[in-house]
Amino acid sequence: MCGIAGIFGKTWRPDQLRRMVEVQRHRGPDGEGIYLDPNLMAGMGHNRLKIIDLSEAGRQPMFDVDGRFCLVFNGEIYNYLELRRELESSFSFRTRTDTEVLLAAYQRWGTDCLDRLIGMFAFAIWDEQQKKLFAARDRFGVKPLYYHQTAGGDLLIASEIKALHAAGLDRVPDETTWANYLVHGLTDHEDRTFWQGIRSLPGGHYLEWHDGHLRIHLWYDVAQRSGRDFDSRSVDDVEEEYRVILNDSVTLRFRSDVPVGINLSGGLDSSTLLGLVHAYQGADSDVKAFTFYTGDERYDELPWVRRMLEQTNHQLIASRITAAEVPSLADSVQSHQDEPFGGLPTLAYANLFAEARSLGVIVLLDGQGMDEQWAGYDYYASGAATSVVQGTKQKPTRPECLTSDLCSLAETFVPESPFADELRNLQYRDIRNTKIPRALRFNDRISMRSSTELREPFLDHRLIELALRQPSDRKIQDGTSKWLLRRLSRKLAPENVVEAPKRPLQTPQREWLRGPLREWATAQIEQTLSEYGGSWFNSAEVRGAWQSYCAGASDNSFYVWQWISMGLLMNREVLAGV
C-alpha cells in the first residue's frame, strides 16, 4: 500500500512533483522515490509502505531490466507468486516483490495482464521509448487514482486529491457535485469529484496518454463478467464453489511480510471472516482482532464480538471513541479525506487503524462487500432504495435549505439496469455506483492516515461474479437475507456464528450531535453559512432545521453531517481556495 504521483507533458516543473510526493508521505512512510524522464516528458513519484519484500530492492519507481518501462504501484497483487511462476521462464526476477511481477506481467501481456491480476491496485507505467503512459485501477476501485488534464494537454495523476492541489491546481469547488450531494446525498457515483478539473479514474478502467491525448477505457464490468443468466446448478454445488473461493481469497490476503490483523463487528460477515481465518490458520490462530465501540449499549457491538471470540486465542483490541475527541479527530480525518466523509462511524474506524498501527499491526482484513453480494440491506427485499440512510423514515437531505440556484444544478442519477431482474440491478448499482465506491474511499483514506493497509477479501471479483449469478431465492428466502451465506457460515464455524441485532447506525451520532457535541456542531454549521449562506444555503432555513433537530424532531443526522462536513472543509481553508 503506497502513494503514487505523476506529471506528463511539456510545461511542468520537478518541484511540483516533489510537493505531490511530500503531501502523500502518510501513505508510505518507509521510503520515497522520484523518476524524471531524461527529456522531462514525464515524472513519477512514489511513497512506500513496506508490506512484501521489506528490503531496498522493492523501492519504487521500478524499472525493467532494459530500462524502458518505469512503474509506480499502489496496492497488492495477491496472486503474485502464481504469476511469478508463470513468468519465470521469460524473466529473471531480481526481487521478491509483487511490484516486479506486475511489471513483468505488463511486459508479457500488455493490457491483458489486468485480467490475470487478483488484487487491489492503482498503477502507472511510463514507456520511456515511446513516451506513453498506461495507468489502471482495480476492478471495484479499492485503490484510488485521480487525474487532471491541463488546457495544454499535460496530465497529472495521484493517489489523493491533495497531491494535485499541491502541484498548483486551484482549489475550486465543483458546484454540480456539491449540488448532487446536498440535494440527493450522492457521492462517488461518477468520475467527477468535489473539485473542479479533478476526476477519479473509475474502478475497472485504464487510461492511456500520449503527446497530450488522453483516452479512458473500460476493462472490467461485473455485469458483463458474471453474465445475465442465472446459475442452474444445485445449491450444494454453488455453495462448495463459493467456499473454495472464499478460502483462497482469505489465504491470498494473508500474504505479507508484516503482521496481519482482522477487524470484527458483531455480525454474520465478521463471523464468516473469523471462520475462514481459522480454516486457514487453524483454531488456535492468535491473530489480533480489532473492533470499535462508543460506550453506548444501544449501538455498540462489543458484547457480540466478545462472544464470538470467547473460545479462541485471539487478543481483542477494543478501540473506544468518545464525544470529547470528535472535534480534533474530525478535523484530522477531514484533512485526509479531501472530500465529505461518512460521519462518526468513519471517525471510530479511523481510531481503530491508529490503534492497530501503534501495536505494530500494519495489515488488516475486514468484511466489506457481503451485503451487496447476498442482498443484506432491507431495501433489497422491497425492491427499491429510496434513501441513502438505512433504518430511517424521514428524508436524509434538506433541499429546502438550499438556494434555488444550487438546487437547479443537481442532476438526476439513473443507474444502469443490465439485468432482467430488479434485485440484481440494485446490487449492481450498489457495487458500481453507490455503496461500495463510497465505503472504499472512506476506508482507504482512514487506513492510510495511520499508514496501515486494509484488505477486503470479500471483494474478490470471483466471489461477486458467482453471487450475482444466483437467483433471488438463494439470497432472500422466507424473509431471511443472505440466505446462502448464512447456510455456509454455520458450516465454517458454527460456534462463532453470533449476530448482533440489525441496527441502522453504529454510533450514537444523532444523540451526540444534539447533546455533548451541540456547541461544536453549531460552530461548524455557522462556518458553512459564513462562506455559503445566501449563495448555496438559505441561512434562516438551515438554522431553523438545526434548532428543530436539536429539539429531537428528526430520526437521522445525515443532512446535519453534510453541513458539518462543509464547515470542517472551511476550517482548512479548502473550499475558500486559500
Which residue type sits at 14? P
Check 2, 70, 113, 401 and give the catalytic one: 2
- Provide the grid cell at 142: 479499492
**Residue from 341, 391, 453 nearest 47 by CA:** 453
Please give the Cα distance from 475 to 163 (Å, whole number): 42
Phi, psi of 268 (to 5 degrees): -60, -40
Lowest-pLDDT range of 126-140, 264-278, 288-302, 496-510: 496-510
pLDDT exceeds cutoff 80 at 574? no
- Provide the grid cell at 122: 492503482
At residue 231, the pLDDT reads 96
**Residue from 61, 26, 15, 44 nearest 156 by CA:** 44
Which residue type sits at 174? D
Strand order through the sheet with 42-48: 32-36, 42-48, 2-8, 155-158, 146-149, 199-200
- Provide the grid cell at 21: 510526493
Please give the Cα distance from 421 to 433 (Å, whole number): 18
At residue 48, the pLDDT reads 97
Please give the Cα distance from 163 to 72 (Å, whole number): 15
At residue 501, the pLDDT reads 61
Domains and CATH numbers, the chain: 2-171+192-220 (3.60.20.10), 227-400+417-496 (3.40.50.620), 509-571 (no CATH)
Binned at pLDDT 50, 70 and 90, residue 498 comes out as low
Start-to-end CA distance of the chain, whole Å, equals: 31
Task: Give the global pTM.
Answer: 0.96
Give me the half-sphere count of Cα atoms (radius 13 Å) on the Cβ side of residue 33: 16
Q: Any bridge partners for residue 70, and if so which?
A: 63, 126
At residue 384, the pLDDT reads 62
Report long-range pairs for 529-535 (Cβ below 8 Å, ≥24 apart). 530/570, 531/566, 531/570, 531/575, 531/576, 532/566, 532/575, 534/403, 535/403, 535/405, 535/406
pLDDT (mean) for 398-403: 98
- Provide the grid cell at 437: 465506491
**Residue from 122, 133, 161, 150 nearest 41 by CA:** 133
At residue 576, the pLDDT reads 41
At residue 253, the pLDDT reads 98
At residue 394, the pLDDT reads 87
**Residue from 5, 146, 6, 49 nearest 447 by CA:** 49
State pLDDT tens for residues 499-522. 666 654 579 999 999 999 999 999
- Provide the grid cell at 205: 478502467
| Vertex 187: Cα angle to 189 and 507 (nearest 5) | 125
At residue 302, the pLDDT reads 94
pLDDT exceeds cutoff 90 at 570? no
At residue 300, the pLDDT reads 93
Q: Which residues lie closer than 8 Å to 307 by C-beta, 6 or more apart? A: 498
pLDDT (mean) for 288-299: 95
pLDDT (mean) for 534-544: 97
pLDDT exceeds cutoff 90 at 491? no
At residue 345, the pLDDT reads 96
Q: Can the peptide bond before residue 61 be classed as cis, meaning omega within 30 degrees of 0? A: yes
Please give the Cα distance from 126 to 45 (Å, whole number): 12
pLDDT (mean) for 382-400: 78
Binned at pLDDT 50, 70 and 90, residue 578 comes out as very low
DSSP 39-60: TSSEEEEEEE---S--SGGG-S
Binned at pLDDT 50, 70 and 90, residue 543 comes out as very high
Give the H/E segment covering residue 487: helix 483-492
Determine contact, residues 49/1, Cβ cutoff 8 Å.
yes
pLDDT exceeds cutoff 60 at 401? yes
Q: For residue 470, what is the DSSP state?
A: S
State pLDDT tens for residues 190-218. 999 999 999 999 999 999 999 999 999 99
Mean pLDDT of the chain: 94
pLDDT (mean) for 24-39: 96
pLDDT (mean) for 107-132: 97
State pLDDT tens for residues 54-100. 999 999 999 999 999 999 999 999 999 999 999 999 999 999 999 99
At residue 383, the pLDDT reads 67
Cα 215 vs. chain centroid, distance in angstroms?
A: 24
At residue 387, the pLDDT reads 64
At residue 577, the pLDDT reads 41
State pLDDT tens for residues 354-374. 999 999 999 999 999 999 999
Q: Is-catalytic flag, 401?
A: no
Q: Residue 500 to residues 104, 299, 302, 439: CA-CA distances in angstroms?
A: 46, 10, 9, 21
